[in-house]
């Protein structure tokens, strides 16, 4: 699906939570304005990075779940959406350093515009702000959920680093994807569900939705990287093998990396094989499971928007 078509449909789906995004934007602007006095040099750099917005899927799902659950309006949801978005952006900054990336969302990365030292500090600064936001939340379960999410995220990155140039099984790839990406979705959505809720009998469904959706999102991101020749070649050269690569090497070389004669041509060969289609089917499997996890929700426009978002990602 072309980016322009996807973006149009995506904006239509999230239009039902436009007011929530407006509150989020105001909260982020206000928060960093208050930080200017003590952090006058880093704040403009942070604001420029934050203002170069991506899809903002994490806050979108927090707001959609809040309304699908008929939750009453509360500043908590804006705060938890902000914490999740800032934490996500911190991981992007650090990922760009690890991957030596030059561009992020069509703009120069902080490590390219400044240097890796500044980028590390900018990412750390954002994490510190997240800790401040979470400190004010009284529910220890919500704080623990985010602490565990960060721990899993770091473990996922460490696992990827120490398993470079190894062909993981698809199961191991899925587990890594859950830790790197899905756990942050889990922290935000589960926190939305359990906040001010004495009856959490459907917590497992909510948790599984977040993990299934987040896993699918990472798989789709890995597929999209194959449309960016420079990015996917960098990943392969760095020994970071995603699902299309795994499927291709398993089928073509019986999982034996030593049989690959020219690693520089492999991304081209993968795109000509059925590995991309197999990966798409893997993502659809997890998105279908995510849709099943919403079955306990009563039918309303926000539940339908969540399902529409799943279908949009799956290409339906």
pLDDT tier at 227 (50, 70, 90 boundaries)?
Answer: confident
| Residue 50, number of CB atoms within 10 A of its CB | 16
| Structure confidence at residue 115 (pLDDT) | 87
Alpha-carbon distance of 192 to 264, in angstroms, equals: 45
| Structure confidence at residue 98 (pLDDT) | 84
Terminal CA-CA length for the chain: 10
Return the structure tokens found at 232. 């996917």
Higher pLDDT residue, 49 or 70? 70
Contacts 24+ apart (CB under 8 A), 128-135: 129/31, 129/35, 129/86, 130/83, 130/86, 130/87, 130/90, 133/79, 133/82, 133/83, 133/86, 134/83
Question: Which sequence spans correspond to the domains of the chain?
Answer: 3-314
| The residue to which tokens 């206000």 are assigned | 30
| The residue to which tokens 């007011």 are assigned | 19
Asked whether the predicted pLDDT for residue 51 surpasses 90, the reply is: no
For 238-300, where are the alpha helices, taking DSSP H only? Answer: 243-253, 266-272, 275-292
Alpha-carbon distance of 245 to 78, in angstroms, equals: 39
Q: Which of 41-45, 51-55, 295-299 has the lowest mean pLDDT?
A: 51-55
Rg (CA), the chain: 20
| Structure confidence at residue 310 (pLDDT) | 98
Alpha-carbon distance of 115 to 113, in angstroms, equals: 7
Name the fold adopted by 3-314. Answer: Farnesyl Diphosphate Synthase (1.10.600)
Return the structure tokens found at 290. 């995510």
Asked whether the predicted pLDDT for residue 316 surpasses 70, the reply is: no
| Structure confidence at residue 105 (pLDDT) | 73
| Structure confidence at residue 112 (pLDDT) | 85
| Residue 126, number of CB atoms within 10 A of its CB | 24
| Structure confidence at residue 104 (pLDDT) | 78
Contacts 24+ apart (CB under 8 A), 191-194: 191/62, 191/80, 191/142, 191/145, 191/146, 192/62, 192/65, 192/66, 192/69, 192/71, 192/77, 192/80, 193/65, 193/69, 194/139, 194/141, 194/142
Q: What phi and psi values does residue 296 have, to the nearest 5 degrees?
A: -75, -15
Residues 6+ apart with CB under 8 A from 159: 176, 179
Model-level pTM?
A: 0.94
Average pLDDT over residues 210-224: 96
Alpha-carbon distance of 92 to 294, in angstroms, equals: 29
pLDDT tier at 39 (50, 70, 90 boundaries)?
Answer: confident
Alpha-carbon distance of 174 to 183, in angstroms, equals: 12
| Structure confidence at residue 180 (pLDDT) | 93
Q: Which of 28-42, 117-131, 193-207 has the lowest mean pLDDT?
A: 28-42
Average pLDDT over residues 220-240: 88
- pLDDT tens digits, one per residue of 75-88: 999 999 999 999 99
What's the mean pLDDT when you consider all of the chain?
93
């Amino acid at each position: 699906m072309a980016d322009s078509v996807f973006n149009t449909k995506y904006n239509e789906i999230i239009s039902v939570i436009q007011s929530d995004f407006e509150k989020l934007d105001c909260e982020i602007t206000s928060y960093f304005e208050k930080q200017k006095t003590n952090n006058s040099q880093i704040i403009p750099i942070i604001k420029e990075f934050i203002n170069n917005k991506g899809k903002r899927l994490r806050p979108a799902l927090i707001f959609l779940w809040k309304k699908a659950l008929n939750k009453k309006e509360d500043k908590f949801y804006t705060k938890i959406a902000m914490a999740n978005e800032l934490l996500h952006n911190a991981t992007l900054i650090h990922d760009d350093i690890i991957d030596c990336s030059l561009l992020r969302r069509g703009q120069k990365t902080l490590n390219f515009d400044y240097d890796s030292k500044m980028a590390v500090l900018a990412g750390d600064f954002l994490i510190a702000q997240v800790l401040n936001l979470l400190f004010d939340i009284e529910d220890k379960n919500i704080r623990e959920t985010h602490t565990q999410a960060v721990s899993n995220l770091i473990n996922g990155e460490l696992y990827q680093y120490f398993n470079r140039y190894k062909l993981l099984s698809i199961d191991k790839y899925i587990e890594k994807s859950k830790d790197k990406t899905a756990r942050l979705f889990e922290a935000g959505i589960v926190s939305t569900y359990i906040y001010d809720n004495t009856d959490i009998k459907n917590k497992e469904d909510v948790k599984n939705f977040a993990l299934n959706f987040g896993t699918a999102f990472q798989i789709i991101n890995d597929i999209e990287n194959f449309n960016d020749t420079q990015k996917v070649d960098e990943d392969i050269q760095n020994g970071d093998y995603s699902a299309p690569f795994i499927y291709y090497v398993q089928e073509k070389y019986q999982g034996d990396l030593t049989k690959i004669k020219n690693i520089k041509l492999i991304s081209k060969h993968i795109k000509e094989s059925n590995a991309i289609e197999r990966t798409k089917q893997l993502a659809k499997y997890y998105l279908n499971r995510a849709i099943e996890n919403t079955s306990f929700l009563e039918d309303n426009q926000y539940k339908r928007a969540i399902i529409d978002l799943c279908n949009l990602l799956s290409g339906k």
